[in-house]
Chains A and B, each alone.
Chain A
Amino acid sequence: MDATILGFLLLDGLQNGVVYGLLALSLVLVFAVTRVILVPIGELLMFAPLSLVWLLEGKLPGTLWLALALGLAWALLSRGRGALLPLLGTAGLGLLFLLARGVPPLAYPAVVLLVVYLGVATYRVFFQPMREATVLAFLIMAVGLHVAYMGLGLVFFGPEQFRPEPLLRGEVVVGLSWQGVLVLLFALLAVLGLYLFFRLSLFGKALLAAAENRLGARLSGIPPEEAGMVAFGIASLLAGLSGLLLAPLINAAYFMGFMLGLKGFVAAILGGLSSYPMALLGALLVGFFESFTSFYASAYKEALVFLLLVPALFYQSLRARAVEE
């Protein structure tokens, strides 16, 4: 191996690693606040670029109908004034999509809003009604949603792969495109933003509080349902934006989310599903490990990444700190 290849591999690993990192942070946040392992995060990521492709071609994506259906279910689940938010959200989203057909400056924010709305509605419709359930029941629901959303992705967008136009064209140096720089920059900003949100804003601290002690949070006037919706919202926002930025570099297709989500999950596990910095480091480790194994043993690259789980889980079980409440 020479220095050029080493550089390629490092860049590739870094670029993938930061995306896994964002997904891992989202998973840790959602788990801490709601005890849900958000398996369908990869599907939320996938919905973003594919919906964008549809919207830019002037078509309404099937994900919009999914959002409308979930919004309706949300409204039915909440009585009285609580139904106003999903109804207004649904109407606003529909209107935005009608306007955004074929208009790139509107289409990007419209797609991001759609994914955030889908994420929040997913929590409200599927997870909140079972809020006193066990972690295992949440996991079963999450896996079910992952399968369902991936299937819906196939129904909505077909089996083809798409490559959306990058926001920035060209390359900085060989092996690093401007779009790749954009991904790195976004990841940096997102991590910084999350850090400041949790460090400086009382809203961020309220979210941490809801994760630390649910009874204490309720007694302080922080409703766990709202905290759950915010956590899901942040996770979907990160997933949607990552999907939009990443899709021009790797192809977008209905199955793309699974592997990305799974690797984010591996990274989150490396951090014990509880530590944000460790999850981020774990994600970079997964990214580098993946890019180097794909160079040396490309046939086994996925298997080798998941092999990382074995020592991580072994270490976690040795520490044996119960994650459950």
Chain B
Amino acid sequence: MLLVERLCVRYGPLEAVRGVGFALREGEALALIGPNGAGKTSVLRGLLGLARAEGRVVLEGQELKGRSPEALLRLGLVLVPEGRALFPGLSVEDNLLLGGFTRFRRGENLGPDLERVYALFPRLKERRRQLAGTLSGGEQQMLAIGRALMARPRILLLDEPSLGLAPLMVREIYRILAELKRQGVTLLLVEQNAKMALSLADRGLVLEAGEVALEGPAELLRQDRRVVEAYLGLAREVEEG
């Protein structure tokens, strides 16, 4: 469905992503894991035209590079960014409706989508009149995902959805992501929390210093000695300790 070849992202002299390539099949969940500064977020930025990128990005035969985030949104590529980028002074419901703004402009009815998001996140429905800025971190992450869903994504890209959340809330978010996957949404997941990411994903991609260090089915990666030592070891210790 989505094919990425030799993707390079540069910030001035700094090369954040050096020739990353992968393929994403329809309905699949792919996890991009790796340490801080490995270029995970830059891959997403390059994909979405938020950073200048070289290489090829092809969605069902269409070259995507050079298109604006607005154009990609219409093609069904929707990003839930790190830090969520919500509209704190607007109500929860307004935030959700604005997620479907492009569709609203085309004259589509957002009502059913709003109900669908509320069914997925009952907590957001309880707080629909509240300002987004007054929500807890976990609720804000739910809202960010809900807002992205309002655009009817074909591929949902998530940047660190578990960052800064309590373990219980992380599990809740991943439960919802699993539900979305079951509903057929294709997921591209960038995570530092490799354990959670690999538990959801079908396949994983380990990035190191802007390059793909390892690639394979999530099942195998979870058992790979190098991944366990580098990323999962710590998580396990914390859990046991």
Contacts and interface: CB of A to CB of B under 8 A. Distances in A.
Interface of A: 202, 205-206, 208-209, 212-213, 215-223
A209 B102 CA distance: 14
A213 B98 contact: no
Contacts of A208: 87, 89-90
Contact of A209 (B70, B73, B79, B98): B98
B101 A222 contact: yes
Contacts of B81: 215-216, 219
Nearest to B95: A209
B69 A206 contact: no
Interface in B67-122: 68-70, 73-74, 78-79, 81, 84-90, 94-95, 97-99, 101-102, 104-105
B151 interface: yes
A173 B203 CA distance: 80
Given A213-B85, A216-B85, A221 B102 contact: yes
Interface in B175-206: none
Contacts of B85: 213, 215-216, 219
B147 interface: yes
A221 B86 contact: no
A7 to B, nearest CB: 39
Contacts of B50: 215, 218
B98 A205 contact: yes
A205 B102 CA distance: 13
B94 A205 contact: yes
A89 B81 CA distance: 38
Contact of A218 (B69, B88, B90, B104): B69
B52 to A, nearest CB: 13
Given A206-B101, A221-B151, 9 more contacts: A202-B101, A202-B104, A215-B81, A216-B85, A217-B87, A217-B98, A218-B68, A220-B151, A221-B74
A242 B69 CA distance: 38
A206 B105 CA distance: 11
A151 to B, nearest CB: 37
A221 B97 contact: no
Contact-residue bracket for chain B: 20 to 34
B138 to A, nearest CB: 18
B87 A209 contact: yes
A203 B147 CA distance: 16
A170 B228 CA distance: 86
Interface in B6-29: none
A-B pairs with lowest CB-CB distance, top 6: A216-B85, A221-B102, A212-B87, A215-B85, A209-B87, A221-B73
B79 A222 contact: no
Given A215-B85, A219-B79, A209 B90 contact: yes
A212 B90 contact: yes
Contacts of A212: 87-90
Contact of B97 (A202, A216, A218, A223): A202
Nearest to B157: A219
Residue among A208, A209, A221, A222 with the most chain B CB within 10 A?
A221
B29 to A, nearest CB: 20
Contacts of A220: 73, 98-99, 101-102, 147, 151
10 contacts: A209-B98, A216-B81, A218-B68, A219-B73, A219-B78, A219-B79, A220-B147, A221-B74, A221-B102, A221-B151
Contact of B87 (A202, A216, A218, A223): A216
B86 A213 contact: yes
Contact of B70 (A206, A213, A216, A223): A223
A216 B86 contact: yes
Contacts of B94: 205, 209
Contacts of B104: 202
A209 B150 CA distance: 16
Contact of A206 (B74, B78, B98, B151): B98
Residue among B81, B89, B101, B104 with the most chain A CB within 10 A?
B101
B109 to A, nearest CB: 12
Given A215-B85, A216-B87, A205 B70 contact: no
Contacts of B101: 202, 206, 220-222
Nearest to A216: B85
B70 A221 contact: yes
Contacts of A213: 85-88
Interface string B38-73: 000000000000100000000000000000111001
B89 A218 contact: no
Contacts of A223: 68, 70
A212 B97 CA distance: 15
A67 to B, nearest CB: 28
Nearest to B133: A212
Contacts of B89: 208, 212
Nearest to B88: A212
Contacts of A221: 70, 73-74, 101-102, 105, 151
Nearest to A218: B69
Nearest to A224: B70
